[in-house]
């Protein structure tokens, strides 16, 4: 009996091992088939992040913040007032430039009048000179008969010389006046145009004293406080539109050979988990590995060179409807699975990226220069007489 039991145990062990081996082979075969049909046609990376336009709002004049109207996370529309400042300096500068423009116009009016006066004076002197010349000719003819004394001829010649000198002085004054106003009018005179430019610049500084949202979006990075002294170029807010986001996925260079613009991408986020899937498309490949754009590019011509596999950033679109239903934020981590099995692939030099209009332009400054020019023209008209 003991011998029979000893023979059964090895037989069962071999049977269990055979079953395990068959299962292992089936799993390996299944994995191999999956890899050949699916796995090898996809590239996965978790080195992917949401990107978007983070629009800075900077001070454009030197002033003091008077009041702040928004807080972080608030949604604002383009043109909304974010903060107002004490604009006395810019207002006074605008009024000073307006006064300077009016004074310039009046001074040029005087120069134009002086040109006309000198021209009339020169015409009168020329007429007087011509009259003296005629008298001199007549006196010389009459002198032969003794009807005119020599002294009269001498005096006439002296008067002509004096008048000729006066004409020269008048011409010099006329040339000096024409140097300021010649071949111009009040509107296009260089002095007026320079004064107009100063008015326009002062108006823009005054009009832009308050801080407004250049685009619609959510407020972030508020650094404005009442009483804060601000300077041109100082960033006080950021506006983040959440409707035009995209994903930048960094893929190893060893996996990039088959990636092309137009490849579909399955995207999931750590924010929502695997339950929310975004169907994106590779729009283009950034023309350079990440290290090429670093502040200190690597120097590989050294003796202690260590090869590091580089990563190439891809720009991947996010569908607008999915973003509206499941909003994302710039900087969130994503997992990207790129399907490289598509046929008729595009060239890597033919991106699908197109610059949209919304979020890439602002219209809040569109009419400011027009209003500044209208103000300058009103000042010219008021002082032109």
pLDDT tens digits along 351-361: 888 887 777 88
pLDDT of residue 1 exceeding 50: no
Does the pLDDT of residue 317 top 90, yes or no?
Answer: yes
The pLDDT tens digits of the residues spanning 34-67 come to 555 554 567 889 999 999 999 999 998 888 999 9
**Average pLDDT of the residues in 116-140:** 85
Q: What is the 3 state secondary structure string of the chain?
A: CHHHHHHHHHHHHHHHHHHHHHHHHHHHHHHHHHHHHCHHHEEEEEEEEEECCCEEEECCCCEEEEEECCCCCCEECCCCEEEEEECHHHHHHHHHHHHHHHHHHHHHHHHHHHHHHHHHHHHHHHHHHHHHHHHHHHHHHHHCCCCCCHHHHHHHHHHHHHHHHHHHHHHHHHHHHHHHHCCCCCCCCHHHHHHHHHHHHHHHHHHCCCEECCCCEEEECCCCCCCCEECCCCEEEEEECCCCCEEEEEEEHHHCCCCCCCCEEEEEECCCEEEEEEEEEEEEECCCCHHHHCCCCCCCCCCCCCCCCCEEEEEEECCHHHHHHCCCCCCCEEEEEEECCCCCCCCCCCCCCCCCCCCCCCCCCCCHHHHHHHHHHHHHHHHCC
∠ Cα 188 191 195 (to 5°)? 95
Residues 5-29: tens digit of each pLDDT: 555 556 666 677 777 777 777 777 6
Q: Measured between alpha carbons, how far is residue 246 from residues 242, 250, 264, 352 in Å?
A: 10, 13, 14, 13
Select the more confidently predicted residue: 155 or 318: 318
Confidence of residue 327 (pLDDT cuts 50, 70, 90): very high
Q: What is the pLDDT of residue 36?
A: 58
For 75-98, what is each residue's pLDDT tens digit? 999 999 999 998 788 889 999 999
d(CA 45, CA 316): 13
pLDDT of residue 358: 77
Location of structure tokens 């023209």: 377
- Alpha carbon separation from 66 to 20, 82, 187, 220, 249 (Å, rounded): 78, 11, 38, 20, 43
Angle at 119 between CA 116 and CA 125, to 5 degrees: 145
- Confirm if 364 and 79 have CB atoms less than 8 A apart: yes
**Predicted confidence (pLDDT) at residue 2 exceeds the cutoff of 60:** no
Instruction: State the Cα–Cα distance between residues 264 and 42, nearest whole angstrom.
Output: 10
| Block residue for tokens 């924010």 | 271
* Lowest mean pLDDT segment, chosen from 59-73, 274-288, 291-305: 291-305
pLDDT digits (tens, 9 = 90+) for 197-239: 999 999 998 988 899 999 999 999 999 999 999 999 999 999 9
Tell me the domains of the chain and their CATH numbers. Answer: 90-205+368-383 (1.10.287)
CA atoms within 13 A on the CB side of 225: 3
Which residues 6+ apart lie within 8 Å of 39 measured at CB? none
User: Measured in whole angstroms, how far is the alpha carbon of residue 199 from the centre of its chain?
Assistant: 23
Q: Do 48 and 333 touch, CB atoms closer than 8 A?
A: yes
Paired with 63 in beta bridges are 230
Cα–Cα distances in Å, from 313 out to 79, 288, 316? Answer: 34, 8, 10
Whole-number average pLDDT of the chain: 85
The pLDDT value given to residue 78? 92
């Amino acid at each position: 009996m003991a011998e029979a039991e000893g023979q059964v145990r090895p037989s069962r062990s071999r049977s269990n091992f055979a079953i395990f081996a068959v299962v292992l082979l089936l799993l390996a075969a299944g994995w191999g088939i999956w890899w050949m049909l699916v796995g090898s046609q996809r590239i996965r990376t978790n080195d992917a992040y949401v990107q978007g336009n983070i629009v800075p709002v900077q001070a454009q004049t030197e002033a003091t913040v008077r009041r702040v109207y928004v807080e972080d996370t608030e949604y604002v529309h383009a043109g909304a007032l974010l903060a107002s400042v004490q604009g006395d300096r810019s207002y006074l500068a605008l009024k000073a430039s307006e006064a300077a423009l009016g004074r310039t116009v009046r001074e040029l009016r005087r120069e134009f009048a002086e040109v006309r006066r000198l021209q009339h004076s020169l015409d009168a002197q020329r007429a007087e000179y011509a009259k003296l010349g005629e008298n001199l000719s007549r006196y010389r003819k009459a002198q032969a008969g003794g009807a005119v004394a020599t002294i009269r001829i001498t005096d006439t010649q002296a008067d002509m010389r004096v008048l000729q000198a006066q004409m020269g002085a008048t011409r010099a004054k006329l040339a000096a006046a024409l140097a300021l106003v010649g071949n111009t009018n009040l509107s296009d005179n260089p002095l007026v145009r320079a004064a107009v430019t100063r008015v326009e610049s002062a108006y823009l500084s005054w009009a832009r004293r308050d801080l407004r949202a250049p685009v619609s979006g959510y407020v972030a990075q508020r650094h404005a406080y009442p009483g804060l002294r601000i300077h041109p170029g100082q960033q006080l807010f950021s506006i983040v539109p959440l409707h035009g986001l995209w994903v930048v996925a960094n893929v190893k260079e060893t996996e990039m050979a088959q990636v092309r613009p137009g490849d579909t991408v399955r995207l999931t986020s750590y924010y929502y988990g695997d339950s929310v899937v975004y169907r994106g498309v590779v729009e283009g490949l950034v023309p350079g590995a990440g290290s090429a754009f670093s502040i200190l590019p690597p120097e590989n011509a050294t003796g202690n060179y260590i090869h590091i596999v580089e990563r190439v950033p891809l720009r991947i679109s996010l569908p607008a409807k999915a973003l509206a239903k499941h909003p994302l934020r710039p900087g969130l981590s994503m997992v990207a699975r790129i399907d490289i099995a598509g046929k008729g692939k595009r060239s890597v030099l033919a991106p699908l990226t197109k610059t949209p209009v919304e979020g890439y332009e602002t219209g809040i400054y569109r009419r400011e220069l027009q209003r500044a020019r209208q103000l300058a023209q009103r000042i010219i008209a008021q002082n032109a007489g």
